[in-house]
């Protein structure tokens, strides 16, 4: 079941499939720095050891015997506005750092030396715990530096936020749903088996778990998901991909769209939704392309309804940049 947390409606900027990389660590003797942004949830294997000692699923430095502290640098694949962090010390008990802080900067370098700005002041940590920490900052950043005091292990660092792409001078089709452009799933009726945030990531789904899937509906109604577009635009082409969904794909799909000043206004029961794509049949494990869409002009949000339930791997919303804020 998809786990909800305080930043569930924001995207994970640290995802390696967005191009994010850990470019440097002051020390990663016990556990490789790259694991700190691994997409999987951290695990513990009781009897697993390597040449340096106990294998841990995260980033872990050796015991520091000199002054200073350890840190690692993460280069975001897509620059973003950061809304919050989860410093996850899962399975680290006698070897977690007592404190951490986080800085960010804007740079073209893999591992910048200058320009760091503090986003999170030194904060106390507990072992084997999630630490959800809200950030109030409207700047767009390219790098994050996680500082731990003085040493120890972090299982995962999740970086939640949004992408704000520059559409000035853009000519031609744009996927307004794509996370790399700033599209974001903001709400849905259900995501029991698969997260709504899988709908707009790069590439096709790798398996059935890499999509949005609802529980089996036993009552009336249907399931739905709402996407905030990366930019106001006129949608002219849609792709609904049911890759890997065979006995559990939706029977039909429809799309509605509208103009909303704020994400909070784009709720499922709003009377401002207009039909973009009437109910259309779907097939299993297949990419579906729809070009005969209703001409409703520039919109900011799209609601995809599936009938009655099931799984969709990807949703692509291609169109031209337009609207009053271009």
Co-location of 155 and 17 in the same domain: yes
Question: Domain ends where: 107, 134, 162?
Answer: 162
CA distance 272 to 280: 21
Q: What is the pTM of this model?
A: 0.93
Residue 321: the pLDDT is 83
Within-domain flag for 168: no
Same domain, 142 and 190: no
**Overall domain count for the chain:** 2
268 in the same domain as 238 = yes
Question: What's the confidence (pLDDT) of residue 171?
Answer: 77
pLDDT digits (tens, 9 = 90+) for 283-315: 999 999 999 999 999 999 999 999 999 999 999
The reported pLDDT for the residue numbered 324 is: 44
- Token pair of 133, please? 């920490």
Same domain, 120 and 228: no
For residue 34, the SS3 value is helix
Query: How does the average pLDDT of the chain come out, rounded?
Result: 96
Q: Is residue 228 part of a domain?
A: yes
Q: Do 282 and 191 share a structural domain?
A: yes
Decide if 231 is inside a domain. Answer: yes
For 116-157, what is each residue's pLDDT tens digit?
999 999 999 999 999 999 999 999 999 999 999 999 999 999
Has residue 4 been placed in a domain? Answer: no
Place of tokens 């790798």: 206
pLDDT of 325 strictly over 60: no
User: How many distinct helices (H) and strands (E) make up the chain?
Assistant: 0, 22
What residues make up the domain containing 297? 174-321
């Amino acid at each position: 079941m998809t786990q909800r947390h305080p930043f569930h409606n924001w995207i994970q900027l640290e995802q390696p499939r967005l191009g994010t990389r850990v470019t440097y660590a002051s020390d990663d003797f016990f556990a490789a720095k790259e694991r700190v942004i691994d997409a999987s949830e951290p695990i513990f294997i009781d009897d697993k050891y390597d040449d340096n000692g106990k294998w841990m699923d995260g980033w872990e430095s050796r015991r520091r015997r000199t002054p200073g502290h350890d840190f690692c640098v993460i280069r975001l694949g897509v620059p973003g506005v950061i809304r919050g962090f989860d410093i996850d010390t899962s399975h680290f008990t006698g070897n977690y750092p007592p404190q951490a802080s986080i800085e960010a900067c804007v740079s073209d370098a893999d591992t910048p030396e200058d320009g760091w700005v503090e986003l999170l002041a030194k904060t106390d940590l507990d072992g084997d715990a999630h630490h959800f920490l809200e950030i109030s900052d409207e700047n767009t950043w390219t790098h994050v530096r996680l500082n731990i005091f003085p040493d120890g292990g972090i299982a995962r660092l999740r970086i939640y936020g949004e992408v704000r792409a520059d559409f000035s001078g853009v000519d031609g089709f744009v996927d307004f749903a794509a996370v790399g452009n700033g599209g974001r799933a903001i709400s849905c009726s259900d995501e029991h088996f698969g997260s709504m945030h899988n709908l707009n990531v790069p590439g096709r789904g790798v398996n059935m778990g890499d999509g949005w899937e609802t529980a089996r509906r036993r009552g009336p109604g249907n399931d739905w998901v709402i996407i905030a577009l990366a930019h106001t635009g006129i949608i002219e082409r849609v792709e609904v991909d049911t890759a890997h969904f065979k006995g559990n794909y939706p029977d039909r799909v429809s799309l509605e769209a509208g103009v909303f000043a704020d994400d909070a206004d784009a709720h499922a029961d709003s009377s401002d939704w207009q039909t973009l794509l009437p109910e259309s049949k779907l097939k299993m494990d297949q990419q579906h392309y729809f070009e005969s869409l209703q001409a409703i002009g520039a919109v900011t949000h799209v609601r995809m309804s599936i009938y009655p339930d099931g799984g969709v791997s990807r949703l692509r919303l291609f169109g031209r940049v337009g609207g009053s804020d271009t």
